Amino acid sequence: MLIALLTGASRGIGRATALELARRGVELLLLGRGSPALTNTEQQLASLGAKFKAFTADLADAKATVAACRAVIAQIGVPDIVINNAGTVNRMPIEELSLEAWDHQLAVNLRAPFLITREMLPAIRARGHGRIIHVASISSTVGAAAASAYCASKWGLVGFMKSLAEELRDSGLMTLALLPGSVDTDMLVGSGFAPRMTPEDVAKTIAYYALDAPPVHNGSIIEMFGV
C-alpha cells in the first residue's frame, strides 16, 4: 500500500484529495492543525474504510512542523508521496498589510513546504522513488489586488519546486507544481472570481500525478484554468 503525506486536509482541495486517494487504496498521513473540520475529514475517511493517521502541527510554527515530520518517519516510515497542499490567504491592500499577516502567509504557503520537503527528502532519495507535489495557484503567474503575500508565496513555491526538480534530476524521483485557477472553496470567497472548477476536479488531477503519471513530468507546472 502506498503512503501519502498530505497537508491541508480539513477542507476544500485537501479533503477532496484525501478522499480520492483513499478510494484508490492509498494510506494517508494527515498533517495540520487539529480542528472540527479535520475531524470531519477523518470521519469521512473512516466511512470509506481508509487507513489513515493524523499528525497535529500548526504549519506556521517551524519547530512544530519539523517535529511532526520526524514523528511521521519514526512512527510510520517514509511516505511514497508528499502533497504540500495547505494554504492561507489574508486579503487586504498592501498599505494595510501587517508584517505579521505577511509572515504568516509565507510561513504556511512557502516555508512549511520547504521544511516538510527537507525533512522527508533524504529518506525518499535513499529509497530511490517518490513524488513531491506542490499545490500552488494560478496566482503563481499573475498578480491579484489585495493578495500580495499570497501571490508572492505561490510564486515562491513554484520557484522552490523548479530548484528541487533540478536537484532530483536523474534520481528517479519527481516533483511538480499544480496551479489551479478559481476553485469552489472557502478560500475563493471575497476574491471577486467566480468558481470554474470543483475541489474534486483538482483532487483527481493530483491523484493522477501522484499515482499514474510517468516521472518524466519532473519539474512540470500544471495549469488548470477551468471550464
Catalytic residue status for 150: yes
Is the Cα dihedral 93, 96, 97, 101 positive or negative?
A: negative
Q: Is the pLDDT of residue 195 over 90?
A: no
Check residue 183 and give its pLDDT. 86
Q: Is the pLDDT of residue 92 over 80?
A: yes
Residue with more model confidence, 191 or 140: 140
Selected catalytic residue, list 52, 150, 160, 209:
150
Please give the distance of CA 14 from its chain centroid, rounded to a whole number. Answer: 7
Please, are residues 108 and 150 in contact by the beta-carbon 8 Å criterion?
Answer: no
85 pLDDT band, cuts 50/70/90, is very high
- The total of other beta-carbon atoms located within 10 Å of residue 159's CB is 13
Check residue 186 and give its pLDDT. 80
The class that CATH gives domain 3-224 is: alpha beta
**Mean pLDDT in residue range 68-96:** 97
**Mean pLDDT in residue range 74-89:** 97
Q: Is the pLDDT of residue 218 over 80?
A: yes
d(CA 203, CA 7) in angstroms, rounded, equals 13
Q: 5-14, pLDDT tens digit by residue?
A: 999 999 999 9
- Residue 75: which of 23, 3, 19 has the closest Cα? 3
d(CA 135, CA 14) in angstroms, rounded, equals 10
Q: Chain-wide mean pLDDT for the chain?
A: 96
Check residue 196 and give its pLDDT. 84
**Mean pLDDT in residue range 59-86:** 98
End-to-end CA distance of the chain: 34
Check residue 227 and give its pLDDT. 86
Instruction: Please list the residues that pair with 223 across neighbouring strands.
Output: 179
Check residue 190 and give its pLDDT. 74
d(CA 204, CA 87) in angstroms, rounded, equals 19
Longest dimension (CA), the chain: 50
Check residue 192 and give its pLDDT. 74
**Mean pLDDT in residue range 119-148:** 95
Across the chain, the runs of DSSP E, i.e. the strands, are 3-7, 27-32, 52-56, 81-84, 131-135, 174-180, 221-224
Check residue 90 and give its pLDDT. 94
- The total of other beta-carbon atoms located within 10 Å of residue 83's CB is 31
The pTM score is 0.97
- DSSP codes joined into one string, 111-127: IHHHHHHHHHHHHHHHH
